[in-house]
A and B are shown apart, each in its own frame.
Chain A
């Protein structure tokens, strides 16, 4: 059933009841400011299971912050975040919902994976060790099992020949692919991509996008993709959200938002970006 993208108005306050099962990530009334700059202004967002959502917009429009809020790297000033059946920053107490801390967030976070713009690989470890770390530590798997899975993941992203290489010995595109493999290790239900090709040389962008395209087609993971690659977004996204000045000014399927935008700011943005 196609997802219509309408916000679920029951969820303005957590006490008002559970979120429908189809929504894997649900944000309600999210506001976030840094100093006196309001980055996000009362945002609602839903991502259904298996849905691929592209977030576009200018820098500072809040789209990266949405990802960091989703995975709990930052806390919202207002609003609630709901991930796969749990509130991120609240937990069920004896008398209903109450605020929760880092330890609770760490459990809820397991359903999510994120790939960063600057890879954030561990420089003192090889590609294999990078992917192996979460398997051995977070999942508690034995060395052989972790190795097997890590090798498999690295093969899937086309780096089977580079297991023993350190990040400094790999190109940007290869590093980002290791980062993708590493985030996939925990088998998240939702994958977040934070402008993962923006820091790459143009000729390396393609290999990363190819992996993402395979993930989009071959798995039923939800994907939340912040990107400037408009044609890529048009290709794989089920839904596109245009961010501007802390608000979602346009939302809909790619044919609508990217080919025939209604909002003037969207048109301006797309024109500017496609002229690059």
Chain B
């Protein structure tokens, strides 16, 4: 049948979007992580001049629709003279958006480190800088890994949005193929499975990372933020997309 023949012809083209999707996922995550740390540290700062902007960014990006943010970067910024390639705009918006959500995870993890650690460090003469990198962060990092896995999968799903601003990822190509074919079921069915498999891959990778970090930092640390009433589920469940 003509339709089936074309489906198999289109398939390589569609699947060629997988590297693009993965690339966008990792690039955006590479933006999201430093953003998350900066925002978290900013919000914990004693200096209002650091705290207010950080809170503002977090509330802004978490409070507005991610698609609107994407379109705003793509359609509106050029009017202000800011012209950037679609990929850059997409990666930045996704990165800052996800980074804003993840900054809450970072903050919760840093706060979960027992205050006695800070006191011991102060009384032993450690500088605040040293205290953060040698004492606080190694204890906070394992707490951030499971939510990081969630964030990675969320980011993967997020990237489908960039198909709407001309980036030729999996979703974009699927759309193109579907309109050309006139029959979209098989195409969308295939890529939904592809996304699922990618998500499983990323989840598995993050569990591996969890194990590695635990071994590096010491198996004995708490593996979740204080047991049942933890501050993390709220975020992990409410990320949307």
Residues of A within 8 A of B (CB): 71-73, 106, 109-110, 112-114, 116, 118-125, 133-134, 137-138, 166-169, 182-183, 185-186
Contact = CB atoms under 8 A, between A and B. Distances in A.
Interface stretch (B48-56, B132-140, B144-152): B132-140
B126 to A, nearest CB: 6
A192 B122 CA distance: 14
A124 B125 contact: no
A124 B138 contact: yes
B123 interface: yes
A120 B218 contact: no
B125 A110 contact: yes
A134 B218 contact: no
Contact of B126 (A73, A125, A138): A138
Given A133-B134, A137-B130, A113 B221 contact: no
Contacts of A167: 220
Given A133-B134, A134-B125, A137-B130, A166 B218 contact: yes
A118 B139 contact: no
B124 interface: yes
A123 B120 contact: no
B123 A123 contact: no
Contacts of A120: 114, 116-117, 119-120
Interface in B83-135: 114, 116-117, 119-120, 122-127, 130, 134-135
B122 A73 contact: yes
Nearest to A134: B124
Contacts, number: 64
A73 B139 CA distance: 22
Contacts of B119: 73, 116, 120
Nearest to B216: A124
Given A72-B122, A124-B220, 15 more contacts: A71-B123, A106-B122, A109-B123, A109-B125, A116-B116, A116-B119, A116-B120, A120-B116, A123-B139, A124-B139, A133-B126, A138-B124, A138-B126, A166-B220, A167-B220
Q: Interface residues of B: mostly helix, strand, loop or mixed?
A: helix
A125 B126 CA distance: 16
Contacts of B124: 133-134, 138, 182-183, 185-186
B126 A113 contact: no
Nearest to A112: B123
Contact of B123 (A73, A118, A122, A168): A73
B139 to A, nearest CB: 6
Contacts of A185: 124
B217 interface: yes
A122 B125 contact: no
Enumerate the 10 nearest inter-chain pairs by beta-carbon distance, A residue then B residue, closest first: A138-B125, A168-B220, A120-B120, A120-B116, A134-B124, A124-B218, A124-B138, A114-B123, A124-B217, A166-B220
Given A116-B116, A133-B134, A137-B130, A123 B122 contact: no
Contacts of B125: 106, 109-110, 134, 137-138, 186
Contact of A118 (B116, B217, B221): B116
A259 B126 CA distance: 42
A121 B124 CA distance: 11
Interface in B196-241: 217-218, 220-221
